[in-house]
Structure 1
């Protein structure tokens, strides 16, 4: 194995420090006993208790998680369907326009997406609230799911579906029993990606949230304008932990799926 040069090692180290050192500092000061976030006053978990007793943050968290779960689920379903069309449907009239509409949110600035959705909701007379936030989050996160699932479908062995059809399965049964279990790691990864994007979105949410619907990013943004409090550090630590657990879970699921497929291939070769 070729050893990394000192330049590559230094670059990678500095990159990781730049990315993760601020998070480590934030997590450390979430256990600070002092209200001054830059002065260490001893170890304490009291700010986590204060956070859970803060009704505004609890309500915002409840809204955020409901929006993230519902929008990521809808985005996964729609994104998977879009990926199937793009990969399996071949050439059809309007394919270029369809693919452009699917991938547009990847390159369009969020402020443009949020503003255009706001104008749309105003034009059709739809009051801003939970429903409009969910629609907005589905709009920008569906494309990410489509990209992830499309990459898996592009390398999918179609002969497995053909074998299922030859054995008497309907196209629906073939998709449910053969295709979906194989692409499940990509679908799960897409759901987790959409969940994470919805969880920390600020720009699009601020355009489409109603006066009675406040998400955590909006609440945090409005709070830090008056200064960062230890409760914000505690809340940010919890969010980092949730995202980290999700990423680790997705990695373990994908690894188990790959190992299971390799075991099935070896068993088929022996038989």
Structure 2
């Protein structure tokens, strides 16, 4: 008699637990999106369908300033972190095994393993000393802080892409007397492109959504969109926050969908 293969989906109660988990995860988000179209001021009592709060958010200059600031920081952080992550991935995959390789891998991915609040406090202290010494209070600190935090998020898809690439193509280019730079430019970089783009999009989303590091590092008047929304929660909350959250959610979903399409394996 053939042995019956184990399938987790056949465990009694598995489907119930799975459905309950999805409901608990997505019902609050669905509620938030629904109440962003609420006509009244309440975030808990439905008073009719309207786009009023989207218009309010669109006309709110503070929201526009925070959004522009968030996009500037996220774009700069994505470019910087992706550039550093690409060089780190090349340095840890396109060479022979060496002593200390594991330590370097752990060091690069350290922000993923340490609680974000610890990283935020460390960055606050470090940049605080620089602020006192230089007197500079600009966005540069937020850009550098976000860049440092986003490096491992960009590094992982880039490294995964490099490890899945066929080395024989680069070897063939070298056999045809291509210099290392030409091999990288004409062979490695085009093949690595989807991984770099995926890493950049992931870094952009992480930076755009970040609250803790931003809250600890920013100076006065440097609210990003997430920290602006956090500040609104401390005041009288209206469905305008729901509308902003829904717009941010839609942008994040689009970018993560693009990330999935770029990184999925093709048959």
TM-score normalised to structure 2 length:
0.89
Pairing 1:37–2:43 present: yes
Alignment of 1:78-227 (within 5 A): 78-92=84-98, 95-124=101-130, 125-126=133-134, 127-227=136-236
**Contact kept in structure 2, 1:128 and 1:208, CA below 8 Å:** no
Q: Note the alpha carbon deviations across 1:246-268, whole angstroms, 9 max, x for none.
A: 1222333446xx55xx6xxxxxx
Residue number in structure 1 paired with 2:256: 247
Change (3 A) 1:99 1:128: farther
* Structure-1 separation of matches of 2:187 and 2:15: 43
Range with greater deviation from structure 2 (185-194 or 246-255): 246-255
* Structure-2 separation of matches of 1:42 and 1:30: 11
TM-score normalised to structure 1 length:
0.87
* Structure-1 separation of matches of 2:19 and 2:175: 54
Q: Structure 2 stretches of 5 or more lacking a match?
A: none
* Structure-2 separation of matches of 1:38 and 1:193: 33
Offset of residue 47 of structure 1:
0.5
Alignment coverage as a number of residue pairs: 258
Range with greater deviation from structure 2 (7-16 or 227-236): 7-16
Residue number in structure 2 paired with 1:229: 238
Helix, strand or coil at the partner of 2:109? helix
Q: Note the alpha carbon deviations across 1:4-61, whole angstroms, 9 max, x for none.
A: 4363322222222122111111110000001111111110001101001111111001
Q: Note the alpha carbon deviations across 1:176-206, whole angstroms, 9 max, x for none.
A: 2222222322222211111111011111111
* Structure-2 separation of matches of 1:91 and 1:166: 23
* Structure-2 separation of matches of 1:169 and 1:49: 57
**Contact kept in structure 2, 1:67 and 1:133, CA below 8 Å:** yes
Change (3 A) 1:95 1:139: same
**Contact kept in structure 2, 1:149 and 1:187, CA below 8 Å:** yes
Offset of residue 96 of structure 1:
4.8
Residue number in structure 2 paired with 1:21: 27
* Structure-1 separation of matches of 2:236 and 2:13: 39
* Structure-2 separation of matches of 1:65 and 1:238: 14
**Contact kept in structure 2, 1:33 and 1:46, CA below 8 Å:** yes
Residue number in structure 2 paired with 1:265: none
Offset of residue 97 of structure 1:
4.5
Helix, strand or coil at the partner of 1:213? coil
Q: Structure 1 stretches of 5 or more lacking a match?
A: 263-271
Helix, strand or coil at the partner of 1:38? coil
